[in-house]
Amino acid sequence: MAMDNTTSYSGLVNQGNLPDKPAPINTEGLGPWVRDNLFNGAFNSVLTISSFLLVLYTLPSALNWLIFNAVWSGGSDACRVNPDGACWTFVGSRWEQFLYGFYEKSERWRINILLAILAVGIIWLAWEKAPAKKLMAFFMLVIFPVFSFFMMYGSETLGLPIVETPQWGGFTLTLVIALSGIVASLPLGIVLALGRRSNMRVISLLSTIFIEFWRGIPLVAVLFMATIMFPLFLPAGVTFDQLLRAVIGVALFASAYMAEVVRGGLQAIPKGQYEGAMALGLPFWKMMRLIILPQALKIVIPGIVNTFIGLFKDTTLVLIIALFDLLGIVQASIADPNWSIKSVPYTGYAFVAIVFWICCYSMARYSRYIEDKLHTGHKR
Amino acid sequence: MELDQNQQKTAAMQVSDEAVITIADMNKWYGQFHVLKEINLKVHRGERIVICGPSGSGKSTLIRCINRLEEHQQGSINVDGIELNNDLKNIDAIRREVGMVFQHFNLFPHLTVLENCTLAPIWVKKMPKKEAEEVAMKYLERVRIPEQAHKFPGQLSGGQQQRVAIARSLCMSPKIMLFDEPTSALDPEMIKEVLDVMIELAHEGMTMICVTHEMGFAKTVANRVIFMDEGQIIEENEPEQFFNNPQSERTQLFLSQILAH
C-alpha cells in the first residue's frame, strides 16, 4: 500500500501511567460472600436452602440430646429417670477405666508420667520456635518408646512391678498401638518405596511382593493371623506377646500403604533433581536423604497423614482379638448391668466418636500447618 | 583454583599441552539406537570447547557421559587421570572434579540459595559449615547475587537461578566445568547475564565444555568448536576457521540455518 507523503503512521506512544481504579464489583464483605458462595445460580440456591433446612431440622435435637437434655451429674439413677439425653455421668464414673483399661490402680502413675511426657514432646515438636528440636525428636522417636515400654511393662531391676499386657487397655492401648504403628510405618514405608523403585531387580521384586501381600489382605485377617496362626509356626514353648504380635501386624500393614504413598512422592520428583545431586558428587543415600526424600515427603504429607489417620482409627479393630482399646473397653462397660439404660450405649459410642474425632482432626490440622510452613515459594 | 594475581593473569586463557579429559573410541547405545559413534576427543587443561549441532545429535549425551549421568558401553573415558568405569569410587572422584550446569538449572527448591551452594561442600567434602558458607558467599558475589543468598530458588528469575547453579558448581572447586545448554531455557534478556559469568570464568582459565547455540559466545571464548550430527563428531576447528571456512556440507548447512536470522 503506497503511503501519502503528507500523512505518515505515527504509532502509539503512551505518556505517563494510567491511575489505578477500584474494581467495578465489590468482592469483599458479607453480602458479596453470601452471593458468590451460597446463591450463585438457581441450583446452588436450592442446595443452600435445603441444606440450611436439614441443619435446622437435625441440629437442635442433636444439641438437646448431647448437651441441654443430657445428664451431667448424679449416678445411674439420674440417667434412668431421663432417657432422652446423653448419660455423661456414665463416662464420668468410668473415665479412669476408659483411659487406663485394667492397668493396676496403684501403678497408674506410670502411665500418667508417660502421657505427660508425650504431651510435652508433641507440643515441643509442634511449636515452631522451640529450641533443641533435633535432640527432642531423637528423644521422642528413639528413647521415649524404649522408656515407655519399661515404664508400662515394668522391670524388676528398676523396681517397677510387671504389668502384663492383657491388663493394658483403654485409650492408653489405643495410643500404644497407633503410635507404634505410626513411628514404625513411616521409615519402613520409605525403605519399601525406595526398594520398589530400585534398579536392583531382586530388591525391587521383594519390596513389591511385600507391599502387595500386605495390601491384599484385610487388617482383620492380619490380626487373626497374628493371634491364632502365628503361634502355630513357633516352636513349642516359645511364646510371643499377643499385643506385640498385633502391633507388628498393624505396623507392617500400615507400612505397605505408606510405601505406596511415598512412592507417589518419589515419582513426582523430576529427574533433574537426581542429576543435579549426582553431578555434585552426592552418594546415593545422601542424595536421597538431603535432596529427594525431603521434597518427596513434603509433596505427600496429605497422603502420609491420611494413612496415619486411617491407622489410628483401624486400631479399634483389635477388639476382635480380645484386646480392649478405647472402643473395646467402652463396649465392655456398656454391658455392665448397673448401667443397662437406653441412653448409655449411645453415650458411650458418642464419647468414643468425639475422642477419635479430636485426635484425627488435630492430625489433619497439624498437617495443614506443616504444609504451609514448608512452602518455599517454588509452587505458585 | 586458587592462583595468585600474577599467576592468574599468565594462566588466563592459556592452554597447556596436558590432556585433562581423554575420550577414546567411545560408543553409546540407547537400546538398539546408536547415539554416540566412535567419539575421540582430547580436552587440554584450560581449554574451552563449544559443542554445537542439531537437536538429537548426541551433544548433550556426550558431555553427560563425562560425569556418568549417562553410561557409555564401549571405549574409554579418562578424566584427570581417573578411568571412568563401574567403580563407584572412581565415579564419585570424577564428579567431585567436574562441575555441571544444566539447561533447567536443577537447583534444589526446598533449600535456600546459600544452602544449595553449601550442601555439596559440607556433605561431600566434609567442609565445616562456616567455611562452606564463606566459600559460597564468595562465589555468589562472583556471579553477582550475594543479596539473594537467603531466598529460595523459586523466588528468583531464570537468569538468577542459572547463576546460582554456576556458583553451586564452583563451590566444589571443580577442575572442569560442563555446561549443558545453559541459556536455552532463559528469556532473551537474561541470556547475557549468564553468558557474562561464563565468559569471566573462561578468562580465569577454567577448563570448560559448553553445549550451546550461542555462537557469539563460541566466537569470543572458545579455543575449539566441535560440530556433531547423528552421534558423530563431524567437524572440529578453531572458531575463526569453523565459522568462516566450514569444511563439511553438514556444518555449512547447520551454520547457514542458525546464522540466517
Contacts of B169 in chain A (CB under 8 A): 279-280
Higher pLDDT, A334 or A10: A334
pLDDT digits (tens, 9 = 90+) for A280-299: 999 999 999 999 999 999 99
Judge whether residue B117 has pLDDT over 70: yes
Q: B118, B196 in Cβ contact below 8 A?
A: no
* Calpha distance B87→A242 (Å, rounded): 48
Judge whether residue B2 has pLDDT over 50: no
Is A279 in contact with B152 (Cβ distance < 8 A)? Answer: no
pLDDT digits (tens, 9 = 90+) for B30-51: 999 999 999 999 999 999 999 9
Say yes or no: A278 contacts chain B, CB-CB below 8 A: yes
Q: B213, B53 in Cβ contact below 8 A?
A: no
Q: In Å, what is the CA distance from A22 to each residue of A18, A165, B186?
A: 13, 69, 36
* Calpha distance A302→A115 (Å, rounded): 26
Can you give the pLDDT at residue A10? 72
Say yes or no: A289 contacts chain B, CB-CB below 8 A: no
Q: A100-109, A365-374, B43-52 — which one is most confidently predicted on average?
A: B43-52
* Calpha distance A252→A191 (Å, rounded): 12
pTM: 0.83
Can you give the pLDDT at residue B8? 44
Say yes or no: A290 contacts chain B, CB-CB below 8 A: yes
Burial bucket for residue B163 (CB in 10 Å: 0-12, 13-18, 19+): buried
Report the relative pairing of strands B224-229 and B48-52 from DSSP bridges.
parallel
pLDDT band at residue A127, thresholds of 50, 70 and 90? confident
Is B69 in contact with A279 (Cβ distance < 8 A)? Answer: yes
- Selecting from B123, B154, B169 the residue whose C-beta is nearest the C-beta of A378 gives B154
pLDDT digits (tens, 9 = 90+) for A218-251: 999 999 988 888 877 777 777 778 888 899 999 9
Is A280 in contact with B168 (Cβ distance < 8 A)? Answer: yes
Least confident of A6-20, A28-42, A186-200, B78-92: A6-20
**A55 Cβ neighbours under 8 A, 6+ residues apart:** none
Is B108 in contact with A280 (Cβ distance < 8 A)? Answer: no
What's the full length of chain A, in residues? 380
Produce one character per residue of A287-298: b if its CB has 16 or more CB atoms within 10 Å, e if not: bbebbbbebbbb
pLDDT band at residue A375, thresholds of 50, 70 and 90? confident
pLDDT band at residue B224, thresholds of 50, 70 and 90? very high
- Alpha-carbon gap: A278 to the closest alpha carbon of chain B (Å): 8
Rg (CA), chain B: 18
Q: Which of A273, A278, A280 is best to mutate for the B interface (most B CBs within 10 A)?
A: A280
Say yes or no: B29 contacts chain A, CB-CB below 8 A: no
Say yes or no: A201 contacts chain B, CB-CB below 8 A: no
pLDDT band at residue B9, thresholds of 50, 70 and 90? very low
Q: A14-28, A94-108, A154-168, B88-102 — which one is most confidently predicted on average?
A: B88-102
At residue A3, what are phi and psi to the nearest 5 degrees? -105, 140
Per CATH, the number for A169-327 is 1.10.3720.10
Is A286 in contact with B123 (Cβ distance < 8 A)? Answer: yes
Is B109 in contact with A291 (Cβ distance < 8 A)? Answer: no
Question: Stretch B151-156: mean pLDDT, rounded?
Answer: 93
Can you give the pLDDT at residue B11? 44
User: Mean pLDDT for chain B?
Assistant: 90
Biggest CA–CA distance in chain A, Å, is 113
Judge whether residue B14 has pLDDT over 70: no
- Selecting from A281, A290, A291 the residue whose C-beta is nearest the C-beta of B172 gives A281
Cell 550475594 identifies what position?
Answer: B146
- Which run of H or E residues covers position B242? helix B239-244
Say yes or no: B225 contacts chain A, CB-CB below 8 A: no
Residues 144 to 163 of B: which have CB under 8 A from any A CB? 152-155
- Selecting from A275, A283, A295 the residue whose C-beta is nearest the C-beta of B109 gives A295
Contacts of B155 in chain A (CB under 8 A): 377-378
Q: What is the ipTM of this complex?
A: 0.90
- Alpha-carbon gap: A104 to the closest alpha carbon of chain B (Å): 49
Is A281 in contact with B95 (Cβ distance < 8 A)? Answer: yes
Share of chain A above pLDDT 90, in %: 49
Can you give the pLDDT at residue A17? 85
DSSP-derived letter for residue B37 is: E
Say yes or no: B120 contacts chain A, CB-CB below 8 A: yes
Residue B222: strand, helix, or coil: coil
Higher pLDDT, B250 or A375: B250
Judge whether residue A378 has pLDDT over 70: no
Beta-carbon contacts below 8 Å between A and B: 74
Measured at the CA of A200, the angle between CA B31 and CA B30, to 5 degrees, comes to 10
Q: Which residue of B has its CA nearest to A285?
A: B123
Between helices B113-123 and B129-142, what is the axis angle to 10°? 130
Measured at the CA of B193, the angle between CA B188 and CA B197, to 5 degrees, comes to 140
Contacts of B120 in chain A (CB under 8 A): 280-282
Say yes or no: B56 contacts chain A, CB-CB below 8 A: no
- Alpha-carbon gap: A284 to the closest alpha carbon of chain B (Å): 10
Cell 506377646 identifies what position?
Answer: A241
- Alpha-carbon gap: B174 to the closest alpha carbon of chain A (Å): 10
Nearest to A350 by CA among A79, A67, A54, A55: A67
Contacts of B164 in chain A (CB under 8 A): none
Other C-beta atoms lying within 10 Å of the C-beta of residue B206: 21
Higher pLDDT, A74 or A280: A280
- Selecting from B92, B108, B155 the residue whose C-beta is nearest the C-beta of A273 gives B108
Which H, E and C letters describe chain A, residue by residue? CCCCCCCCCCCCCCCCCCCCCCCCCCCCCHHHHHHHHCCCCHHHHHHHHHHHHHHHHHHHHHHHHHHHCCECCCCHHHHHHCCCCCEHHHHHHHHHHHHHECCCHHHHHHHHHHHHHHHHHHHHHHCCCCCCHHHHHHHHHHHHHHHHHHHHHCECCCCECCCCHHHECHHHHHHHHHHHHHHHHHHHHHHHHHHHCCCCHHHHHHHHHHHHHHHHCCHHHHHHHHHHHHHHHCCCCCCCCHHHHHHHHHHHHHHHHHHHHHHHHHHCCCHHHHHHHHHCCCCHHHHHHHHHHHHHHHHCHHHHHHHHHHHHHHHHHHHHHCCCEHHHHHHHHHCCHHHCCCHHHHHHHHHHHHHHHHHHHHHHHHHHHHHHHHCCCCCC
Higher pLDDT, B169 or A154: B169
Judge whether residue A64 has pLDDT over 80: yes
Judge whether residue A7 has pLDDT over 80: no
Q: Which residue of A has its CA nearest to B156?
A: A378
Q: Which residue of B has its CA nearest to A292?
A: B108
* Calpha distance B157→B165 (Å, rounded): 12
**A119 Cβ neighbours under 8 A, 6+ residues apart:** none
* Calpha distance A110→A98 (Å, rounded): 16
Calculated CA dihedral for residues A27, A28, A34, A35, nearest 10 degrees: -20
* Calpha distance B225→B209 (Å, rounded): 10
Say yes or no: A271 contacts chain B, CB-CB below 8 A: no
Higher pLDDT, B113 or A20: B113
Can you give the pLDDT at residue A5? 56
User: Mean pLDDT for chain A?
Assistant: 88
Q: A65-79, A153-167, B152-166 — which one is most confidently predicted on average?
A: B152-166
